[in-house]
Each structure stands twice: as C-alpha cells, then as structure tokens.
Amino acid sequence: RKSRGRRSAGLAWTKRNISWKVKTYPREARLGRETIRALTHYALKVWSEATPLTFHEVGGSSADVSVEFLRLDHQDGYPFDGPGGMVAHAFFPGDPQRAGHVHFDSDEDWTFRSPDDYGTDLFAVAVHEFGHSLGLAHSPSKRSIMRPYYQGPVGDPLQYQLQADDRTDIQRLYGMARPGSRVLHSTEKPEASSLLPDPPSLPRDFPEFPDRCSSSIDAVAQIRGETFFFKGQYFWRLTHGQHLTSLRPALSAAFWRGLPRSLGKVDAVYERHTDHRILFFSGPLYWVFKDNGVEEGYPRPVTDFGLPQGGVDAAFSWPHDRKTFFFKGGLQWCYEEAVGRMDEGSPTHTALGGQLPTPVDAMLSGSDEVYAFKGRQYWKLERHSLKPEKGYPRSIARDWLDCTGELYPPPSAPT
Amino acid sequence: SARPVPTPADESGEVAWLTQYGYLPPANPVTGQLQTWEAVTSAIRGMQRFAGVPETGIPDDATLALIRTPRCSLPDVLPARKNGRQWRKR
C-alpha cells in the first residue's frame, strides 16, 4: 500500500515511440550543444532500457519531449532562481498544455564528468526530469533517481542503470522491455535507406563535436545523390530529400575507411563522374575511394593533377562535361577527367573574384546548379558565368543543416 | 490550538519552501501570510519524513541543509486529485 501509485503522477504516454528534441541551449556553457544532445539521448536511453519505450530525435519544430534551457521567470509557474536552488523541472504526461516540456535552468553551471564542486551534472538531472516526463513523481528513497534533491553525478552515462525501485515504478506505467527488443538509438532512423552504411555511433569519450548551427564548412560534396558537409574530423549527411540523416555529425575516418584518423580536416571532396570514385583532398595529398573504402596506393600528391603542392581550397565536378574545377586563392583549374589532364591555359583567375569573398571554403555542383560556401553563408551561382544569383548569400545552417529559430552565435559574430 | 500567528521573518523562507513543494497548503487569502504553528510543524515533519532525516518538527541543521540543497522545482507532495465518485456526482 505504501508504494502503490505513490511514485506515479497517475498518467502515462499512450504511445510507445516518443520523439525528442533539444529546442534551446544555454547561452554560456561549458558543455557544447552536441554534448548536451548526447547526454539527453543517454538520459532517455536509461528509461527505454527498462520499458518498451523507444525515443528518437527529430529535427522539426514539434517533438513529444522538448528540452529547453531557460532563465528566471519563463511563464510556466515555475520560475528559475539563478545558480543553485531550483535547477530543473518537467511536466507530467497528463498536463494538457505542457506534457513533455522539460526545462533546465540556463543559469546553472551544467557539467559532465566533473567533480561535484564544479557544477551540476546534466546527465543526473536529465534522467530525473525525464522520469517526470514519463509520469513519475518524486520519491523519498535515498537511492532513487527521483529523489527531489540533487545528489551529484550518478556515474558514466553509458553504464548507468535504474535502481530496482525506479525500474519497478516505470514498469508499473509502461510494462517491461520486450525480450530481445532493441533500443532505437537517436542516430538511427527506421525509414533511413541509403547506398552507404549508417554513420558510426557516438564515441565513448564524448568529444566536442562541431556545432552545425554555428560552424563554417570545410568541404561539401554530392555523392550518389546525397549531400555531405565536412567540418574538421566530422561530416553531416543529407539524404536524397535533403534531410539530415542525423543531427549529430559522424566521424569521417570511421566511415571513409582508410582516411587517417589524424587528418584534421579535408579541403575538398567530389564524386568523379567517369567512374564514380570519390576523391578527398587534404593539404598536399589526395585519396581515391571506391564506395567508402580507400583504393590501394593512396594517398598520393595533388601534383598528380598538375595542382600546386599546397593543395586546394575547393573543388566541384560537372556531370555534364565531366570536367572538374579546382580553386585555390584567386585561381581556378579545369581538369578533364576523361583524358586525365588539365585544360590548356589553367590556371586562370577565378570568375568568383570580386563577386564573392575569396578564398571560398567549399564548392558544390548539383545536377544543374553550383553553390559556393564561405563562412556560415552560401551563394547559388549562375552555371556558366559562376556569378552569384540574386537573393544570396543565405544561411548554410538554416537552409541545409536544419537549424531553426535563433542561430547561435548570431550570424554577425566571427566564424 | 489552530490560532493563526504571524510567521517570524527569519522563518518565512522555510514556510515559502514548504508551501512551494506541497508540504503546506497556500496561505489563506483572508489571513494573508499567517500559518498555524501546528500546520508548519506538521509540514516540517512531513518534509523530514520524505527526506529521510529525523522527524523533529523544527527546522534543525539537517532540515535547513536540505532546504538549501539544489533540487527539482516540482512539488514532493502532489495536489490531491478529485476521485471518480465526485466527478460522477457532478
């Protein structure tokens, strides 16, 4: 009698496949956006491992569980109070207006894998708040994650499991996990279909991923109809419908087998239309891939192409005439893939000069259009003259990388 | 015994805390911020019982330490829900 119904707020989700999204992030935080998203994923996974629930991250504006970092009075009857005091809250499934809303105090010093004195462990608080989102009330048990007081870090997010009381309480609402059922990770999409394998899952050591909403881009390529954005050691992938496969970037070297893990960044990537090989350029070297495995004998020097030893800024390849254009500073080269040599007269002064800030970061050719990327902006170029069309530049983050709402830092800030 | 008494200024923070987290009903609008000593003592006991510290009924050091501990904003004691019979009668 003591425990029956006591831990439950009385209502539960009727659906079992629940979407989630981090809608806003703290303005000034030790933790990067990608770390916050990863910790959210693992905090939800704690609950999905004990129940038949699955959680998947969505990029649109609406999600069943929406996470926000807010300050002071944010008009929900539970104002925050700066550092300390109230650190977070979440609304029960029965709340008609606010079910699934999870609020963290943006003024807390949110930490991960830090000693207790250094701040408030985001993972510990997130597991607690998602317990509320799923219908659990506070628990008097000192061992329960649903105890209302913050008790410090609970351990490694990849290893953490619910205590028996918490497991019993959540299973009273949703039942037990189905034997043999597989937890749906947020990097996976049931509908995803592609010629290439899924990006790798999150590394164990939670590196600071580049933020797709505030990063410049090193290289962009269209490969087998999908668009790849490269930044540092990572890439984002857009499917044929131009939807991100995952909001989290994947490690390039783990996906493109044979690309060195020590490679800091790539300068240019393109698919060669003569044989559909994929070429990566980084500094003085280039690699040729068949699908996602490197061909024997690579890397080789970019001077093979007649390019300068220092490498290139960008490249794109035209499917129509099977020519590839390389860009470096104010110069451009035209390489004839069919015969394997540079056009006579290369290099020439690029048509981009004077129209766009140079050097460009990346170039991309679609079936009938060319794009140039610089900083956090891009331009659509007229196909033959390479002059920018009207209405550009536009935001890379907003138009390509599924960043909605306010982009942080603001576009006027330095890249 | 339920005579309302003013809450001493140095204890108003604890009373607000007890009210916020569901141990003490909101102050009667007629009597303003007045609470009965019995209600406050009972609320402190309830809070101590929930938190697993000795039930002294007074805001001792252990209790005050908990009140100062960072925590979730949601109440520990949820408002009672109307039972089905009442709804049916209405």
Give the DSSP per-residue string, A331-377: EEEEEETTTTEEPTT-SEE-TTBTTB-SS-SEEEE-SS-EEEEETTE
Statement: residue A252 has pLDDT above 70: yes
Statement: residue A200 has pLDDT above 90: no
Give the whole-angstrom CA distance, residue A286 versus residue A301: 6
Which tokens hold the place of A300?
A: 């080789």
Asked if B76 has any chain A CB less than 8 Å from its own CB, the reply is: yes
- Residue B72 Cα to chain centre, angstroms: 16
Note the pLDDT of residue A9.
63
Q: What percent of chain A has pLDDT over 70?
A: 86
Q: How confident is the model at residue A247 (pLDDT cuts 50, 70, 90)?
A: confident
Q: Mean pLDDT lowest for which of A62-71, A151-160, A229-238?
A: A151-160
Nearest to A149 among B69, B75, B78 (CB): B69
Is residue A218 a contact partner of residue A230, using CB atoms and an 8 Å limit? yes
Statement: residue A198 has pLDDT above 50: no
* A148·B70 Cβ contact <8 A: no
Note the pLDDT of residue A338.
87
- Give the pLDDT mean for A84-97: 92
Note the pLDDT of residue A208.
63
Q: Smallest CA–CA separation between B55 and chain A, in Å? A: 14
Note the pLDDT of residue A225.
84
Residue A3: count of CB within 10 angstroms of its CB: 13
Is residue A270 a contact partner of residue A221, using CB atoms and an 8 Å limit? yes
Residue A93: count of CB within 10 angstroms of its CB: 19
Tell me how many degrees the CA angle A208-A210-A213 measures, rounded to the nearest 5. Answer: 130
Catalytic annotation present for A129? yes
Q: Which residue of B has its CA nearest to A79?
A: B73
Q: B-chain residues within 8 Å CB-CB of A150?
A: 69-72
Tell me how many degrees the CA angle A58-A64-A67 measures, rounded to the nearest 5. Answer: 75
Note the pLDDT of residue A379.
93
Note the pLDDT of residue B88.
43
Over the stretch A276-328, which tens digit does the pLDDT of each residue have?
999 999 999 999 999 888 999 999 999 999 999 999 999 999 877 889 999 99
Report residues of chain B scoring pLDDT below 70: 1-12, 28-35, 80-90
Over the stretch A157-197, which tens digit does the pLDDT of each residue have?
888 899 999 999 999 999 988 664 444 444 444 332 222 23
Q: How confident is the model at residue A94 (pLDDT cuts 50, 70, 90)?
A: confident
Is residue A16 a contact partner of residue A141, using CB atoms and an 8 Å limit? no
* A140·B49 Cβ contact <8 A: yes
Residues forming a β-bridge with A282: A285
Statement: residue A28 has pLDDT above 80: no
Q: How confident is the model at residue A69 (pLDDT cuts 50, 70, 90)?
A: very high
Q: Smallest CA–CA separation between B73 and chain A, in Å? A: 5
| Helix, strand, coil content of chain B in percent (nearest 5) | 45, 5, 50
